[in-house]
Amino acid sequence: MKITKNNWTWTRQPKDYTIGEDKIEIITSPHTDLWQRTYYHFRNDNAPVLQMKTSEKYFSFIVKTEFESKHRFDQCGVVMYLDSENWLKGSIEYENEEFQHLGSVATNMGYSDWATTAISADIESMWYRFSRREDDYCIECSEDGIHYSQMRICHMWKADQEIQFGIYACSPEDSSFKATFTHMELTDCQWLAHDGQAPDEE
């Protein structure tokens, strides 16, 4: 299903943005971020988040991101933001002229983790596929929109009923950049059931 601009609702609205039928642009503001407590007890909960709601238990959300980030920690990607202490995101965070962090953060009960891999600083576009199977979630990425690689599988304790999910962009330090989101689509769940070990009998 193609997503229209009527599907979206701001959880937090940026100062500068445009929403069209096929493209969304966000100009980030300095000192915006999503992070909770872990490692250095820092907390920030002010990144712009644009989402839609669903109670559907099996689906995938696909989006292409393009970004002009050139400052440390500038980022944009997919997000499921439930409240300040329960959310999931996948994105590329700019680091320096040599590399960026392709990674994901799962925040459960007010504590964030961060799983990353280093990629070239030359990459300025990435596709993401966010999938739900009941209260478990998967984030995948792709450079061509065809071949996807798994970034994270996780359980979200507060995401077993209606959820909100969509896109975000932010600049944690003193910077600003344009993030562009296109090719947004909802599909049947592309994260297939596990075909290996059977679950334990209860």
Mean pLDDT within 63-88: 97
pTM: 0.94
- Classify residue 197: in a domain, yes or no: no
Higher pLDDT, 1 or 46: 46
- Classify residue 103: in a domain, yes or no: yes
The Cα-based distances of 5 to 25, 58, 63, 87, 130 in angstroms read: 12, 22, 14, 23, 19
- Kindly tell me if the per-residue pLDDT of 202 is higher than 70: no
Percent share of the chain, pLDDT over 90: 87
- Classify residue 147: in a domain, yes or no: yes
What's the domain range around 119?
A: 5-187
- Classify residue 92: in a domain, yes or no: yes
At 45-57, the pLDDT tens digits run 999 999 999 999 9
- Classify residue 117: in a domain, yes or no: yes
- Kindly tell me if the per-residue pLDDT of 201 is higher than 90: no
- Classify residue 126: in a domain, yes or no: yes
Q: Which of 29-43, 137-151, 161-175 has the lowest mean pLDDT?
A: 29-43
- Kindly tell me if the per-residue pLDDT of 199 is higher than 80: no
- Kindly tell me if the per-residue pLDDT of 148 is higher than 90: yes
Confidence of residue 2 (pLDDT cuts 50, 70, 90): confident
At residue 50, the pLDDT reads: 98
Assigned token pair, 5: 């601009």
- Classify residue 196: in a domain, yes or no: no
Domains of the chain: total: 1
CATH of residue 59: 2.60.120.200
Percent share of the chain, pLDDT over 70: 99
At residue 200, the pLDDT reads: 73
- Classify residue 195: in a domain, yes or no: no
DSSP the chain: -B--GGG-EEEE--SEEEE-SSEEEEEPPBT--EEESTTT--EEE---EEEEEE--SEEEEEEEEEE---STT-EEEEEEEEETTEEEEEEEEE-SSSEEEEEEEEEETTEE--EEEEEETT--EEEEEEEEETTEEEEEEESSSSS-EEEEEEE-TT-SSSEEEEEEEEBSSS---EEEEEEEEEES--SPPP-SSPPPP-
Give me the phi and psi of 40, to 5 degrees please: -130, 15
